[in-house]
Amino acid sequence: MDYLAGLNPSQRAAVEQTEGPVMIVAGAGSGKTRVITYRVAHLIRKGVDPFNVLVLTFTNKAAKEMRERIMSVVGQEAKNIWMGTFHSVFARILRVEAELIGYPKNFTIYDTDDTKSLIRAILKEMNLDDKLYNANHVYGRISSAKNNLISPQEYNKNEAIMAEDIANGRPQMGQIYMTYAQRCYRAGAMDFDDLLFKTNVLLNKHPEVLHKYQHQFRYLMVDEYQDTNFSQYLIVKRLAAVNENICVVGDDAQSIYAFRGANIQNILNFQKDYPDVQIFKLEQNYRSTKMIVNAANSVIEKNQNQLEKNVFSENEDGEKIKVARAFSDNEEGKIVAESITQERVLKNLRYKDFAILYRTNAQSRAMEEALRKISVPYKLYGGTSFYQRKEIKDLIAYFRLTFNPNDEEALKRVINYPRRGIGDTTLEKILVAADQQQYRLWDVVVNAQMFLDGRSANAVGNFGLMIQSFQAVAKTNSAFDTAMHIAQHSGILKDLYEDKSVEGLSRYENIQELLNGIKEFSEREDIEEKGLDIFMQDIALLTNDDNDKDPNADTVSLMTIHASKGLEFPVVYIVGLEENLFPSQLSLNSRSELEEERRLFYVAVTRAEKKLHLSYATSRYRWGTLNNCEPSRFLDELNPACLELDFKPRSSVMDTGGSFQSERMAWRQKDTESFSKPKPKIVKTTSILPKAHVPTPGFAPSDTSALQVGMEVEHERFGFGKVVNLDGNRPDIKATIFFKELGQKQLLLKFAKLRIVQ
């Protein structure tokens, strides 16, 4: 039992309680993964058959890490655990049981691009306005329906749903959903949402299948339970109904995915579902300093709807959280970039020790520009991943078509790539013939002489023969040999090799890398099934965190806060802390939405291990217009004893709840009386701060065409200052001005609105 020796009392108690319903409330940085893996290892050490254990995660990365840790304790038996993402585990079950619900066992899994491509085709066939019926919106609507287990038939019978579509000017939405479902079924394909939706259908309509898996999975564990949606919740509840040996792990304070269907009530109401549940709280944060943990607690305690817990740290006290104020988003980027270079040198850090987090992807521009200007290497998370690149998707479409010729999206993608004389007109004839005869597209292709004439019939017929030859090769060859054969004989390799441009060379190298990956897959000793179809299933189920990122690259990480969940960095910068940006303007309509934004800020803060920097801009361009910005309310909510300001705030005395109340009031041009705030938990602090500038009566901007270095000027908001430098040519002259209250600022004269004092 020595593997339990390193656990703290709360962790050990959670690991050893293996029977009955268990909820583990795991605060940020509390060793959640260790508890899950040791709990599974403990079950196996007690004699539980690994085949009877189901562990569900949200990323392949998490599943892989857990399996490796379990293997280090129990050895090769860990390979027999049913462990993976919701989608991968239930895709595995559907491969076995799919025929019961009318699907082939070799059904295709459509990714997001395939789904949207099919939706666009349906919109075109129905002659609908693709601006009103935007493919992204339609996809989101269908996805939401499936995650709430609403079938096309139920959707079209629901008066409230139909009334909502009519009110939004999209009365055909129900018909689009019905047609989309029919086309997927006809193509033998499921999209990502179907993997859960169809599993629910399977378990509901076939009680013998439900009985089979209820008794197979005697022990269930669910990671990140706060992120489950209704469909996932129902599957788990059904599977656990017989034995009730269910353990869920999560943190309601880190529930940030409501926009994609996650329901925080699943974890908040777990005790109602299982009244005899045993609850364990992992409250010690091993990741962050006391300063960061105290700051995070001071914010999240403002949420009303949460599970009670007291997260603490026994790490070092740590440095205070630096707060920077910038005039613009570009200046904010400059401040962050320069801070990174200084911290790196002073504390002997690597670039990979730094992360910049933001609320929206659009904010990356200013950060990227600033980093590039001073040659700081960075990696932008959220870019096009390897398996989403066109040339990769083209070759994979050939693979998919080889194993499932009824895959219409794959067929349409490659029937004329590389070009083989099958244009849009011929494809349209194939689509019409299939629709009129109620045939699959593949049936028309292999019987092209019956539906097409002359060259078109020959070209389409030859394409069908080529795919059939690939099917024959796949039956007797390894994954790599099959893939190489398809890459060569489809013409893709030749087409890319002949493109000698830089882009063409890059695409050719990407295909080469894909084949290298398949080769490695073919030679793996830890899996039994090594067919190309199994490789395709693995890559189809890759989650967003599984992109082709080199974990060893020494680069600063840039990403949205949503993308940062589960990660940690020694030094973190959270930028754009402004009202209507963070919290988002779209989240201010209800308490639940605002509380999710606050949880998002909590997640961002708790990514930091040693040092945290916060920043905001006082102006930012939106749709070409420069707007004044207020500091975020989340800055007000932070315990001021945890903060160190890199600027001088605008009120004479810091209010007891936070030094940003006066900042917000000043930007609204109201008086600086502070609101009543809760007293800080660590220590009361006051600071002597300068008053907000009041413009001279009758303030009017001067003609600055004769402005010279050394002149004194007045700015409406920044106060009095002296010009220390003028740079550039008219009309784009930049003035560097030292303001008495704020320090040095650089302003573009044509926008600055300065009054020359002398």
- Residue 617: beta bridge partners? 326
Average pLDDT, integer, range 505-510: 78
Give yes or no: residues 16 and 117 share one domain. Answer: no
Strand duo 219-222 + 246-250: pairing: parallel
Instruction: Specify the CATH number for the domain of residue 453.
Output: 1.10.486.10
Domain that holds residue 552: 313-385+546-645
Q: Is residue 486 part of a domain?
A: yes
- Looking at 108, 115, 226, 254, which residue is catalytic? 254
Catalytic residue list contains 223:
yes
The predicted pLDDT at position 525 comes to 67
For 597-619, how does the pLDDT look when each residue is reduced to its tens digit (9 = 90+)?
999 999 999 999 999 999 999 98
Instruction: Specify the CATH number for the domain of residue 138.
Output: 1.10.10
Catalytic residue list contains 722:
no
Output phi, psi for 559, to 5 deg. -165, 160
- Return the ∠ at Cα 746 (arms to 745 and 749), rounded to 5°: 125
3-state secondary structure 377-402: CEEECCCCCHHHCHHHHHHHHHHHHH
Among 163, 151, 159, 247, smallest CA distance to 204 is for 151
For 126-143, how does the pLDDT look when each residue is reduced to its tens digit (9 = 90+)?
999 877 888 888 998 999
- Looking at 111, 223, 332, 578, which residue is catalytic? 223
- Least confident among 73-87, 268-282, 611-625: 611-625
In whole angstroms, what is the distance from residue 548 CA to residue 391 CA? Answer: 15
Q: Is residue 1 part of a domain?
A: no
Number of neighbouring beta carbons within 10 Å of residue 682: 14
The predicted pLDDT at position 324 comes to 93
Q: What is the DSSP letter of 680?
A: P
- The secondary element (H helix, E strand) that includes residue 323 is strand 321-326
Residue keyed to tokens 């402004």 = 578
> Which positions ≥6 away from 424 have C-beta within 8 Å?
none
Give yes or no: residues 443 and 520 share one domain. Answer: yes
- Least confident among 317-326, 469-478, 498-507: 498-507
Give yes or no: residues 592 and 481 share one domain. Answer: no
- Least confident among 314-318, 461-465, 476-480, 496-500: 496-500
Give yes or no: residues 484 and 397 share one domain. Answer: yes
- The secondary element (H helix, E strand) that includes residue 141 is helix 135-147
In whole angstroms, what is the distance from residue 614 CA to residue 629 CA? Answer: 15
In whole angstroms, how far apart are CA 527 and each of 80, 187, 348? 11, 29, 42
Give yes or no: residues 80 and 202 share one domain. Answer: yes
- Looking at 17, 18, 33, 172, which residue is catalytic? 33
In whole angstroms, what is the distance from residue 321 CA to residue 611 CA? Answer: 7
In whole angstroms, what is the distance from residue 45 CA to residue 181 CA? Answer: 45
Highest mean pLDDT among 58-62, 443-447, 546-550, 698-702: 443-447
Instruction: Specify the CATH number for the domain of residue 609.
Output: 3.40.50.300
In whole angstroms, what is the distance from residue 185 CA to residue 205 CA? Answer: 17
Among 714, 704, 645, 654, smallest CA distance to 684 is for 654
Q: Is residue 641 part of a domain?
A: yes
DSSP, collapsed to helix, strand or coil, labels residue 330 as: helix
Catalytic residue list contains 224:
yes
The predicted pLDDT at position 500 comes to 67
- Least confident among 40-49, 169-178, 494-503: 494-503
In whole angstroms, what is the distance from residue 737 CA to residue 713 CA? Answer: 9
Of 492, 525, 558, the position where a domain reaches its end is 525
In this predicted structure, the answer to whether residue 155 has a pLDDT above a threshold of 90 is: yes
DSSP, residue by residue, 687-709 = -B-PPPP-PPTT--PPPGGG--T
User: Which of 584-589's residues contact partners 24+ apart within 8 Å by CB, and which partners?
Assistant: 584/359, 584/360
499 within 8 A of 508, measured Cβ to Cβ: yes
**pLDDT range class, residue 16, cuts 50, 70, 90:** very high
The predicted pLDDT at position 194 comes to 94
- Please indicate if the annotation marks 29 as binding a ligand: yes
- Please indicate if the annotation marks 250 as binding a ligand: no
**pLDDT range class, residue 689, cuts 50, 70, 90:** very low
Give the dihedral sign, CA 734/739/742/744. positive
Q: Is residue 295 part of a domain?
A: no
Give yes or no: residues 277 and 420 share one domain. Answer: no
**pLDDT range class, residue 22, cuts 50, 70, 90:** very high
Supply the mean pLDDT for the chain.
Answer: 85
Tokens of 696: 């001279």
- Least confident among 54-63, 118-127, 691-700: 691-700
DSSP, residue by residue, 29-92 = TS-HHHHHHHHHHHHHHTT--GGGEEEEES-HHHHHHHHHHHHHHHGGGGGGSEEEEHHHHHHH
415 within 8 A of 427, measured Cβ to Cβ: yes
- Looking at 12, 32, 67, 717, which residue is catalytic? 32
- Terminus-to-terminus CA distance in the chain, angstroms? 81
In whole angstroms, what is the distance from residue 252 CA to residue 596 CA? Answer: 10
- Least confident among 125-139, 241-255, 339-353, 726-740: 726-740
The predicted pLDDT at position 684 comes to 33
Tokens of 396: 């994979």
Q: Is residue 686 part of a domain?
A: no
The predicted pLDDT at position 372 comes to 85
Average pLDDT, integer, range 501-529: 76
The predicted pLDDT at position 548 comes to 46
Of 234, 260, 282, the position where a domain reaches its end is 282
Instruction: Specify the CATH number for the domain of residue 701.
Output: 2.40.10
Q: Is residue 463 part of a domain?
A: yes
Give yes or no: residues 340 and 464 share one domain. Answer: no
Give yes or no: residues 411 and 502 share one domain. Answer: yes
Q: Is residue 681 part of a domain?
A: no
- Please indicate if the annotation marks 28 as binding a ligand: yes
Of 610, 628, 645, the position where a domain reaches its end is 645
Tokens of 499: 């493109």
The predicted pLDDT at position 2 comes to 72
In whole angstroms, what is the distance from residue 283 CA to residue 30 CA? Answer: 6
The predicted pLDDT at position 360 comes to 83
Give yes or no: residues 129 and 212 share one domain. Answer: no
If one counts the domains in the chain, the total is 5
In this predicted structure, the answer to whether residue 663 has a pLDDT above a threshold of 80 is: no
**pLDDT range class, residue 648, cuts 50, 70, 90:** low
In whole angstroms, how far apart are CA 574 and each of 571, 596, 607, 658? 10, 17, 10, 18
> Which positions ≥6 away from 659 have C-beta within 8 Å?
640, 643, 645, 649, 651, 687, 689
For residue 87, count CB atoms less than 10 angstroms from its CB and return exposed for 0-12, middle for 13-18, buried for 19 or more: buried
Between 510 and 409, name the one with better pLDDT. 409
pTM for the full predicted model: 0.71
Catalytic residue list contains 350:
no
Catalytic residue list contains 254:
yes
Catalytic residue list contains 76:
no
In this predicted structure, the answer to whether residue 438 has a pLDDT above a threshold of 60 is: yes
Give yes or no: residues 229 and 181 share one domain. Answer: no
The predicted pLDDT at position 551 comes to 61
The predicted pLDDT at position 675 comes to 28
Give yes or no: residues 612 and 703 share one domain. Answer: no
Give yes or no: residues 354 and 403 share one domain. Answer: no
482 within 8 A of 474, measured Cβ to Cβ: yes
Among 74, 25, 83, smallest CA distance to 53 is for 83
In this predicted structure, the answer to whether residue 547 has a pLDDT above a threshold of 50 is: no
- Looking at 281, 607, 650, 717, which residue is catalytic? 607
For 551-566, how does the pLDDT look when each residue is reduced to its tens digit (9 = 90+)?
678 999 999 999 898 8
The predicted pLDDT at position 231 comes to 92
- Please indicate if the annotation marks 32 as binding a ligand: yes
The predicted pLDDT at position 97 comes to 94
Average pLDDT, integer, range 500-506: 69
For 330-365, how does the pLDDT look when each residue is reduced to its tens digit (9 = 90+)?
899 999 999 999 999 999 999 999 999 999 877 887
3-state secondary structure 180-242: HHHHHHHCCEEEHHHHHHHHHHHHHHCHHHHHHHHHHCCEEEECCHHHCCHHHHHHHHHHCCC
For 388-408, how does the pLDDT look when each residue is reduced to its tens digit (9 = 90+)?
778 989 999 999 999 999 999
Q: Is residue 736 part of a domain?
A: yes
- Looking at 165, 224, 332, 546, which residue is catalytic? 224
711 within 8 A of 722, measured Cβ to Cβ: yes
